[in-house]
Amino acid sequence: MVGLTHGLSIGIERSGSEFFLTLKAVGTLTHKDYKIITPMIDSALSKVDHPIVKVLIDGSQLEGWEIRAAWDDLKLGLKHGNNFKKVAIYGNKEWQATLAKVAGWFVAGKVAYFENATTAIEWLQE
């Protein structure tokens, strides 16, 4: 069986004004990926006046971003950062821990890095 070299999955659950957003990226994120992700997030959050969002990002198979995709990610964070209550980044690379610290500059809520998915989910549920 051939391994997946690039892929993206997104899940959005809503309960009232609270959202639980899950993202899993495999390989290198591209601008094309953000052309899919951004409208989905924009559409979901636009239906609520003051959305509260908790995010789980599974970066365990993420290799990085294209430069244009990194810019897209920054714009997305600036646009919706005030709605993010908690962002848990689950991964296994040192640069992802640094990314979590940088992301905290653009998000009103808390951002944390975890090397264990269960611990990340438990933190989001606190």
Check pLDDT > 70 for residue 4: no
Given this model, what pLDDT does residue 1 score?
45
Secondary structure class of 17 (helix, strand, coil): coil
What token pair was written down for 66? 């294209």
The structure tokens listed for 2 are 């051939």
Does the predicted TM-score (pTM) go above 0.85?
yes
- Residue 65 neighbours by CB under 8 Å, 6+ apart: 28, 29, 30, 73
Backbone angles phi, psi at 66, to 5 degrees: -70, 155
Distance CA 11, CA 108 (A): 22
pLDDT reported for residue 2 = 53
Instruction: Give 121's contacts (C-beta < 8 A, 6+ positions apart).
Output: 56, 88
* Chain segment 24-69, per-residue pLDDT in tens: 999 999 999 999 999 999 999 998 999 999 999 999 999 998 999 9
**Alpha-carbon dihedral angle through residues 16, 41, 115, 104, given to the nearest 10 degrees:** -90
